[in-house]
Amino acid sequence: MEQSKKLSAGILRNDRLMADGRTIRYYDTSGQNRSAKDARPVEKQPAIGELRLDPLVNEWIAMASHRQGRIFLPPKELCPLCPTTGELLTEIPESDFEVVVFDNRSPSLRPPTGDWALPDQVGPDTDLGSAAGKCEVICFTAEHGNAFKDLTPARVRVLLEAWIDRTAELSQESFIEHIAPFENRGEEIGVTLTHPHGQIYAYSYIPPRVEKMLAAANKYKTSTGKVLFDEVVAREIRDEERIIARNDRWIAFVPYAARYPFEIHVAPLNPVADLTGLTDQDRDAFAPIALEVMKRLDGVFGIDMAYIAAWHQAPVRVGRDVLRLHWQITSVRRAPGKLKYLAGSESAMGAFIMDMRPEQSAAQLREVVL
Amino acid sequence: MEQSKKLSAGILRNDRLMADGRTIRYYDTSGQNRSAKDARPVEKQPAIGELRLDPLVNEWIAMASHRQGRIFLPPKELCPLCPTTGELLTEIPESDFEVVVFDNRSPSLRPPTGDWALPDQVGPDTDLGSAAGKCEVICFTAEHGNAFKDLTPARVRVLLEAWIDRTAELSQESFIEHIAPFENRGEEIGVTLTHPHGQIYAYSYIPPRVEKMLAAANKYKTSTGKVLFDEVVAREIRDEERIIARNDRWIAFVPYAARYPFEIHVAPLNPVADLTGLTDQDRDAFAPIALEVMKRLDGVFGIDMAYIAAWHQAPVRVGRDVLRLHWQITSVRRAPGKLKYLAGSESAMGAFIMDMRPEQSAAQLREVVL
């Protein structure tokens, strides 16, 4: 549906339909007119994926074999995330944009047709269901060569508002249980498009790691009456040596039991369940710490660090009082020319071995001159 | 302690002490004399690692910062896993060997001094304990340039006996809860030594993935009275289309909900809890199917496939009647020049997306002409 909507901080959202029926949402600060048409020929929609249960661990695996042929590291002239020009029709019909969110062209998960529910009972014979959910792409800037750390604070504010807006809207869908906005950066971790962008995965099931966080948080609440993540932050503040940045509203630290060489958790000091709970003050204070953290990360070795930056939120319907919003940034780079790999112990057994003490990486991050 | 021990199938184990006090165990078929001394100067033992609890998911992380400087892809002339020659003193003092197992020089986990136990109650303030456990290296052959698939069936029989022997002996240690022999192959997954070898990790805790398998298996046993893995194998036999190899005693299949482009599970048809439960017939029938599977894997693209091959066993003290021995081989290679990466969805959320249908990879594996 084509529509407009006013968000916080004077940000306006304009929705437009793409040629193949997908929606693109422009998040703007200056009331831009967004009327450019998507002039590309309509392509056949990719096949719908499947969800299969791995019964050995009771985890859902999304089968998305239609993604095998997707575009791989195109040159700048063919980047589908740049604005449309006379020479190239891209995913974004306009000739410029601030932040846009559009439905993924080859989604791993997609909205179901009709009613949809996971089976209550599962086992080795559980049959496949269609892979319900939603996958969206979020572009941070029209500047192809920039990175998150090059964004202006004002742009990070728009980006945050877009994440909040998507969380709020996707939470309304009956088939969505969990929403995870994340950014993958770096060819080392498999990024296929270098234009600064992230993804929003809205799952029809609680993802396994969130399920485990939920179990730990519930157990802690039951035995102590307290919220686990709040105690974790309290411990980091008390220990102090792993804190790398803070301001009035946010704190950033390397966690006590980090599992990656450079891992940073960023959390609001006034805890909330998800992005929609952030106050205006929290929202305004995010950009400075987010930019500082990303600059420190690239500053450690003076190179573009590969990372995954993922928002952890409470699921849509459960755990709202025990799970807390935070942003986890993990980098597999342990030294220039050396990566941390997930081999036998991590991959097969799930048991992480860390080659670097968290206090050491925190010190290296703090020592970066900005 | 220097000693000799007779194992099945005429295999003899000879233990010798290395210069720094570590033990090396020779597994031989021809009664070789193993008296060569380790003539290297004694080096300082690396520092002991720590175990830290990640309270958000209640998982132990082994901190092994002393491993940061370990040897990285040395040339053949400096390979520490080749036999010792006049020019180079290696980890193996003898000038030739069949299969050897020695204590890892930079172990992530090591035997505790004195009594040791994990705390019963854990939380965000759980203090660090020393990283108890044991890490061993197992060399499959003295031939530097070979791979697992190049071993003779007789050599695979010795290798299997060594895995069985290590499982039996390590199971006797009071501080060990789970034993995982695995092989990492390929620089793509971070292998630092190309000489054909594996590792044996003996954990003082149940690794997270095993804990999850245990929970799923216990739940299934309670609700159905059956053993989950046996039902999984029954389903694969019934479906047939994902089976890639079988003989009288073993079966190999791509699991229904594989999470890697090429994933193969190899299981004995007469289920057992761990390697020590295999009968002589099972042991003798393993080499043909193991070699066939590894040849099929390399045959798919005609290249050396990077893989992790890990033995899943029941833990030492729990789940003995609900968990089953099997060998999981996973490869991140989805096409020549393309890898499967664990990015935002897999790494941050634990939610796997698979780019290839298991039936497709099973067909590709079956079509390889051996």
For residue range A209-264, list pLDDT tens digits in order: 999 999 999 999 999 999 999 999 999 999 999 999 999 999 999 999 999 999 99
| Least confident residue range of A185-199, A228-242, B112-126 | B112-126
In chain A, what percentage of residues exceed pLDDT 90? Answer: 81
Hey, what amino acid is at B311?
W
Which of the listed residues B207, B240, B273 is the one where a domain comes to its end? B207
| Least confident residue range of A272-286, B272-286, B352-366 | B352-366
Q: Is the confidence at residue A113, as pLDDT, over 90?
A: no
What local confidence, expressed as pLDDT, does residue A152 receive?
98
Instruction: Name all contacts of B112-118 with Cβ < 8 Å and 24+ positions apart.
Output: B112/B175, B112/B204, B116/B175, B116/B204, B118/B51, B118/B60, B118/B204, B118/B205
Q: Is the confidence at residue B67, as pLDDT, over 70?
A: no
The residue with tokens 């728009």 is A158
- Chain B residue numbers with beta carbons less than 8 Å from the beta carbon of A108 are 345, 353
A116 and A221 within one domain: no
Tokens, residue B104:
């890892």
The residue with tokens 């802690």 is A220
Interchain contact, A62 vs B352, CB within 8 Å:
yes
The torsion of the CA quartet A315, A53, A352, B74, rounded to 10 degrees, works out to -140
Q: Is the confidence at residue A202, as pLDDT, over 80?
A: yes
Hey, what amino acid is at A163?
W
The residue with tokens 């877009």 is A162
Which of the listed residues B156, B176, B207 is the one where a domain comes to its end? B207
B68 and B191 within one domain: yes
Beta bridge partners of B243: B253
Tell me, what CATH number does A300's domain have?
Answer: 3.30.428.10
What local confidence, expressed as pLDDT, does residue A247 receive?
97
**Integer Cα distance of A350 and A343 in angstroms:** 10
A16 and A146 within one domain: yes
Q: Residue A27 belongs to what domain range?
A: 3-207
What local confidence, expressed as pLDDT, does residue B340 receive?
82
Nearest to A368 by CA among A309, A297, A308, A307: A297
In chain B, what percentage of residues exceed pLDDT 90? Answer: 81
Nearest to B220 among A123, A229, A258 (CB): A123
Interchain contact, A59 vs B350, CB within 8 Å:
yes
**Integer Cα distance of B340 and A188 in angstroms:** 11
**Integer Cα distance of A12 and A4 in angstroms:** 7
3-state secondary structure of A144: coil
Q: Is the confidence at residue A74, as pLDDT, over 90?
A: no
Segment B106-121 mean pLDDT: 87
A363 and A237 within one domain: yes
| Least confident residue range of A164-173, B23-32, B58-67 | B58-67
Calculate how close chain B gets to A194, using CA atoms only, in Å: 14
Nearest to A16 by CA among A27, A33, A1: A1
What local confidence, expressed as pLDDT, does residue B84 receive?
96
B215 and B104 within one domain: no
B186 and B214 within one domain: no
Chain center to CA of B131: 19
| Least confident residue range of A285-299, B34-48, B164-178 | B34-48
- Which of the four pLDDT bands, split at 50, 70 and 90, describes residue A124? confident
In chain A, what percentage of residues exceed pLDDT 70? Answer: 98
What local confidence, expressed as pLDDT, does residue A304 receive?
93
Helix (H) or strand (E) holding A358: helix A358-367
**What is the number of structural domains in chain B?**
2
**Integer Cα distance of A9 and A286 in angstroms:** 14
How many inter-chain contacts (A to B, CB under 8 Å) are there?
Answer: 259
How many other CB atoms sit within 10 Å of the CB of residue A104?
Answer: 20
ipTM over the 0.90 cut-off: yes
What local confidence, expressed as pLDDT, does residue A65 receive?
77
Q: Is the confidence at residue A47, as pLDDT, over 90?
A: no
User: In terms of C-beta density within 10 A (0-12 exposed, 13-18 middle, 19 or more buried), how is residue B103 classed?
Assistant: buried
B198 and B296 within one domain: no
| Least confident residue range of A63-67, B251-255, B258-262 | A63-67
Calculate how close chain A gets to B45, using CA atoms only, in Å: 17
User: In terms of C-beta density within 10 A (0-12 exposed, 13-18 middle, 19 or more buried), how is residue B284 classed?
Assistant: middle
B277 and B159 within one domain: no
Do B61 and A357 touch, CB atoms closer than 8 A?
no
Beta strands A250-253 and A243-246 are antiparallel
- Residue A223 half-sphere exposure, CB side, CA atoms within 13 Å? 9
User: Residues A317, A323, A326, A329: is their CA dihedral positive or negative?
Assistant: negative
Going by the annotation, the residues of the binding site of A are 79, 82, 144, 195
Using the 8-state DSSP alphabet, how is residue A345 labeled?
A: I
- Which of the four pLDDT bands, split at 50, 70 and 90, describes residue B1? confident
A217 and A144 within one domain: no
Tally DSSP H helices, then E strands, for chain B. Answer: 6, 18
Calculate how close chain B gets to A311, using CA atoms only, in Å: 9
- Chain A residue numbers with beta carbons less than 8 Å from the beta carbon of B216 are 55-58
Segment B188-207 mean pLDDT: 93
Tokens, residue B180:
């995982």
A219 and A161 within one domain: no
Beta strands B99-103 and B23-28 are antiparallel
B121 and B26 within one domain: yes
Tokens, residue A35:
């009327």
Nearest to B310 among A57, A348, A360 (CB): A348
| Least confident residue range of A6-15, A38-47, A233-242, B13-22 | A38-47
Interchain contact, A52 vs B256, CB within 8 Å:
yes
**Integer Cα distance of A124 and B255 in angstroms:** 11
3-state secondary structure of A164: helix
Do B109 and B133 touch, CB atoms closer than 8 A?
yes
Which of the listed residues B163, B181, B207 is the one where a domain comes to its end? B207
Helix (H) or strand (E) holding B164: helix B153-170
- Residue A230 half-sphere exposure, CB side, CA atoms within 13 Å? 13
Tokens, residue B20:
């720094």
What local confidence, expressed as pLDDT, does residue B69 receive?
61
Do B129 and B119 touch, CB atoms closer than 8 A?
yes
Tokens, residue A102:
């559009």
The torsion of the CA quartet B5, B8, B10, B13, rounded to 10 degrees, works out to -30
Interchain contact, B355 vs A124, CB within 8 Å:
no
B202 and B64 within one domain: yes
For residue A69, give every residue at least 6 positions away whose Cβ sits within 8 Å of its Cβ, in sequence order, or none.
none
In chain B, what percentage of residues exceed pLDDT 70? Answer: 98
